[in-house]
Amino acid sequence: MSSPPYRVGRARTGLGLFATEPIAKGALVIEYKGPRISNAQAQKKERRGARYLFEIDSRWTIDGSPRANIARYANHSCRPNMEAELVRGRMMLRATRRIRAGDELTYDYGREYLDLFIPVCHCAICKRRRRGSESSLSLSLSLSLSAHADRARVREVS
């Protein structure tokens, strides 16, 4: 039996799933495993803080909390390299593009999950955007303060 094309490792946000070999676009990478529970049961678990719940339709949710569910380590990204797909009743994560060995395996958790559990996205894309907007904000603030200081100096001189 060959080893899977992924491993669990340290990521920016804790633990993550990483490719150990190149993965072709369209390849089924990993199954999101766990017992099927009703959405009503899932809502009860969610209110108690459960996080690894994957709603598959209007009736059923996969409780992905068992440690045997390695797919639970796939983190969110706003620019993911996988997507979730129901294949013959099983929730699979499929590569949406070619993935290089060493790349973190990610998928989009969806707006509802992010709004409920991750109000500030910590994926690499969003962190870069925030850093870029913070630096442009600080640059414009310092330019504004500098212009104000220049005007103040001009007033003092005249």
pTM given for the model? 0.76
Tokens of 137: 């904000």
Over 70: is that where the pLDDT of 157 sits?
Answer: no
pLDDT band at residue 132 under the 50/70/90 scheme: low
Q: 31 or 154: whose pLDDT is higher?
A: 31
Distance in angstroms (rounded) separating the CA atoms of residues 77 and 38? 27
3-state secondary structure (DSSP) of residue 112: helix
Q: Which helix (H) or strand (E) holds 155?
A: helix 124-157
Strand pairing category for 53-55 and 36-38: unpaired
Q: Which CATH class is domain 6-120?
A: mainly beta
What pLDDT, in 10s, does the model give residues 51-72? 899 999 999 999 999 999 999 9
Edge-to-edge strand ranges of the sheet holding 60-63: 36-38, 60-63, 53-55
> DSSP states of 28-43 as a string?
EEEE----EEEHHHHH
